[in-house]
Chain A
Amino acid sequence: MQQARIKELQKIANNIRMGALEGIYTANSGHPGGSLSIADIMSYLFFEKMNIDPKNPAWEDRDRFVLSKGHTAPALYSTLAHRGYFSTELLKTFRNKESILQGHPDMKGVPGVDMSTGSLGLGISTACGMALSGKISGKNYKVYSIMGDGEQEEGQVWEAAMFAAHYKLNNLVAFVDFNGLQIDGDITKVMNPTPLDEKYKAFGWNVIVINGHDFNEIENAVNASDSSDKPTVIISKCIKGKGVSFMENDAGWHGSAPNKEQYEQAIAELTAANENL
């Protein structure tokens, strides 16, 4: 990828981060850590890769996206707003009783949300259903999904993993936000789901391990999935809270909102990062 384009996508990712934090700060509730960690992947998918049309969110042949780790809805809403599905002004209404922006994604209310998610382990199965549907109808769309690493502890993830491999759903690309932390702490201490690469390999998937903040690695992995005859999982090493110094690698920021001072510092850091690009 051209260096200039990488910078653009990095800038978009930081804007996604700032929009996500704006919603969480205004709501005084939400999940910043995992929203910040996936911003680079979201930037790449929605601004570089996916075949979508914000003016026609129900377009039948569009690529689909399922945020299986639905609690990081702020990242999805911010991405959709910046991509033009709705006004970025709406981000302030996150979790408000008058708003379409529910705490977890609601496909009925928000343009661009392809599946309602939030209960961990269900989203990846619905993504399998969408991928199977495309195969049945002979459509060329792809289905992208992002799961959490803690989410890998859900049994249904592995039911879906069997299903996707069994039906050779090579039009399915699943990311795992491998940031190592879940609400109660280190994933290997809470209930160790690793080694994820060996598990998915044994389940019959095309496995790629990347740095989830490196746009060249993200792009190469996604492009490699285009020629796979198996479903692809991209295990993305990410930093929870990426881009905000005091949130990085701290499980405490999984599901708590910043106060005014913290929010202002976070925005200042992300603004400075964009200015330095």
Chain B
Amino acid sequence: MSIYEIGKKIATREAYGNALAEFGGDERIVVLDADLSKSTKTANFIKKYPERFFNCGIAEGNMISVAAGLAATGKIPFASSFAMFAAGRAFEPIRNSIGYPHLNVKIGATHAGITVGEDGATHQCNEDLALMRVIPGMVVINPADATEARAAVKAAIDYKGPVYLRFGRLGVPVIYDTDTYKFEIGKGNMISDGNDVTLVGTGIMVAQVIEAAKILKAEGINARVINIATIKPIDKDILVKAAKETGAIVTAEEHNVIGGLGSAVCEALAEEKPVPVLKVGVNDTFGKSGKAEDLLEVYGLTAKDIAEKAKKAIAMKNC
């Protein structure tokens, strides 16, 4: 079992590879990659189960449809590449070969968002949550830390149907205790309670949201912190409850502000409990090269940015 020390920085892609190796004893599991096994960390699976790993070369569309054929004959394939080339390049094969027949394929997409860093805009996928969310029946999971990434892989294996798993390249602090954390597809997780405003984070932004709550606390504002790892199906109950009890929401995602977590939260609340929702994310622009941590500042994805938006959201409650 992989044990992750709380507070230690580790990339969720690393936990993905570790989890494939940890749970890969199930003979139905087959892992595919598109020439990026050392980066996606499927290499961790290869070390243990080389006979059930198949490199597909730089041909993501074929890899996705091959996975569909494997699933149609009883396997549980994990198909991996960078988010850009999995969700982006192979969108239509995912939609038609996997989504339409609702096949039991898991897509492990790493290097999501701008924290890919130095490689720049062509490799920084800020659109994958939007693309995967619109496919009927697709489960979309964006884990916050290594512990949750591990648990999400296990949950994806146990769930029968297509799952898109989003992982990052940048090391992020471990939030959850590996021994006690219970992950459930479709359930949000309240990390801390508060009644002035709710901060909803997903993926690597959960760590930033937790820091933002600390900044607000110092200013006398009690923020509720919620982690939404499952973007679809989204946990409407936890969001509606937060809207009712805190009256204002800020979402934070390493993704375009169009189509991802922020949009999903607005959709969930608009029909039941509309409250101000302010979005922190990549503001409908392409990324650029730079160090991952620097880019978070450049694109306004820090705890400070979230705290400022929270104050604006609180002010809007009384408008």
Query: Measured between alpha carbons, how far is A167 from B56 in the docked complex, in Å?
Result: 10
Pick from A64, A119, A136: contact of B92, CB below 8 A. Answer: A119
Chain A contacts of B59 at CB under 8 A? 156, 159, 162-163
Tell me which residues across on chain B come within 8 A of A166, comparing CB atoms. 57
Give chain A residues whose Cβ lies under 8 Å from the Cβ of B25: none
Q: Does A182 contact B (CB under 8 A)?
A: no
Is B18's CB within 8 Å of the partner chain A? no
Please name the residue on chain A nearest to B96 by beta carbon.
A119
Question: Does A247 interact with chain B (Cβ within 8 Å)?
Answer: no
Q: Please determine whether B96 and A156 come into contact, CB atoms closer than 8 angstroms.
A: no
Q: Does the CB pair B75–A136 fall under 8 Å? A: yes
- What are 9 A-B contacts defined by CB distance under 8 Å? A108-B102, A115-B101, A116-B100, A119-B92, A125-B62, A125-B68, A126-B65, A136-B30, A160-B66
- Please determine whether B61 and A126 come into contact, CB atoms closer than 8 angstroms: no
Considering the chains assembled together, what is the distance between the CA atoms of A269 and B72 in angstroms?
Answer: 40
* A125 near B66: Cβ-Cβ < 8 Å: yes
Q: Does B84 contact A (CB under 8 A)?
A: no
Is B108 engaged at the interface, CB distance under 8 Å to the other chain?
A: no
Q: Is the CB of B97 within 8 A of A122?
A: yes
What residues of A have a CB within 8 angstroms of the CB of B67 in the complex?
129
What size tier do the contact residues of chain B reach? Answer: 20 to 34
Report whether A118 and B96 are in contact in the complex, using a CB–CB cutoff of 8 Å: yes
The answer to whether A107 and B70 touch across the interface, beta carbons within 8 angstroms, is: no
A137 contact set on B, CB distance < 8 A = 73-74
Q: Which of B24-83 contact A (CB under 8 A)?
A: 30, 51-52, 54, 56-57, 59, 61-62, 64-75, 77
A60 contacts B by Cβ under 8 Å = yes
Verify if A266 is at the interface (C-beta below 8 Å from B). no
Q: What's the Cα separation between A260 and B96 when bound, in Å?
A: 34
Q: Are A128 and B92 within 8 A (Cβ)?
A: no
**Inside 8 A of B96's CB, which chain A residues have their CB?**
116, 118-119, 122
| Binary contact track A99-129/B, C-beta < 8 Å → 1, others 0 | 0000000111000001110110111011111
From B59, B77, B92, B102, residue with most partner A Cβ within 10 Å = B59
Q: Tell whether B113 is near chain A: CB-to-CB under 8 Å.
A: no
**Nearest chain B residue, comparing its CB with the CB of A119:** B96
* Number of A residues with CB within 8 Å of any CB on chain B: 34
A125 touching B97, Cβ below 8 Å: yes
4 tightest A-B contacts by CB? A129-B69, A125-B65, A159-B62, A159-B59
Whether a CB of chain B sits under 8 angstroms from the CB of A223 is no
Q: Is A132 in contact with B93, judged by CB distance below 8 angstroms?
A: no
Give chain B interface residues in 82-114, CB to chain A under 8 Å: 92-93, 96-97, 100-102
B71 partner residues in chain A, CB cutoff 8 A: 129
CB neighbours (8 Å) of A64 from chain B are: 73
B74 partner residues in chain A, CB cutoff 8 A: 60, 133, 137
Instruction: Kindly provide the distance from the CB of B163 to the nearest chain A CB, expressed in whole angstroms.
Output: 17
Q: Which residue of B lies closest to A133 (CB)?
A: B73
The minimal Cβ–Cβ distance linking B71 to chain A, given in whole angstroms, is 8
Do the beta carbons of B52 and A126 come within 8 Å of each other?
Answer: no
Asked if A133 and B65 sit within 8 Å, CB to CB, the answer is no
Q: How far is the CB of A142 from chain B (nearest CB, A)?
A: 12
Interface 0/1 of A153-169, CB less than 8 Å to B: 00110011011001100
Contacts A115-B101, A116-B101 given; does A163 touch B56 at CB 8 Å: yes
Known interface pairs A107-B72, A129-B72; 18 further A-B residue pairs with C-beta atoms within 8 A, sorted by A's residue number:
A66-B69, A108-B102, A115-B68, A116-B97, A116-B101, A121-B61, A122-B65, A122-B68, A126-B97, A128-B69, A129-B77, A130-B70, A133-B75, A156-B61, A156-B65, A159-B57, A162-B62, A167-B54
Q: Say whether B57 contacts A162, CB under 8 Å.
A: yes
Known: A159-B59, A159-B61. A128 touches B66 (CB 8 A): yes
Chain A min CB distance to B103 (Å): 9
Chain B residues within 8 Å of A255, by CB: none
Identity of the chain B residue whose Cβ is nearest the Cβ of A143 in the assembled complex: B69
A129 to B104, CA, bound (A): 13
CA distance A163 to B69 in the complex (A): 13
The answer to whether B101 touches A133 (Cβ under 8 A) is no
Question: What distance in Å separates the Cβ of A147 from its nearest Cβ neighbour in chain B?
Answer: 13
Tell me if B72 and A136 are in contact (CB < 8 A): no
Residues of chain B with a CB closer than 8 A to A193's CB? none
Q: Counting CB contacts under 8 A, is A204 at the interface?
A: no
The 8 Å CB contact of A114, one of B64, B72, B77, is B72
Are A129 and B102 in contact (CB-based, < 8 A)?
Answer: no
Is A134 an interface position by the 8 A CB rule?
A: yes
Task: Decide yes or no: A130 and B61 within 8 Å by CB, A116-B101, A125-B93, A136-B30 being known contacts.
Answer: no
> How far apart are the CA atoms of A60 and B69 in the complex, in Å?
13
Chain A residue at minimal CB-CB distance from B95? A119
Q: Are B101 and A107 in contact (CB-based, < 8 A)?
A: yes
Q: How many angstroms from the CA of A160 to the CA of B65 in the assembled complex?
A: 9
Whether the pair A125, B102 counts as a contact (CB closer than 8 A) is no
For the complex formed, measure the closest distance between the CB of B86 and the CB atoms of chain A, giving whole angstroms: 15
Whole-angstrom distance between the alpha carbons of A276 and B286 in the complex?
68
Residue contact B92 to A134, C-beta cutoff 8 Å:
no
> What is the bound-complex CA distance between A123 and B66, given in angstroms?
9
Which residues of chain B are within 8 angstroms of A114 by Cβ–Cβ distance? 72
- Expressed in whole angstroms, the Cα–Cα distance for A132 and B74 within the complex equals 12
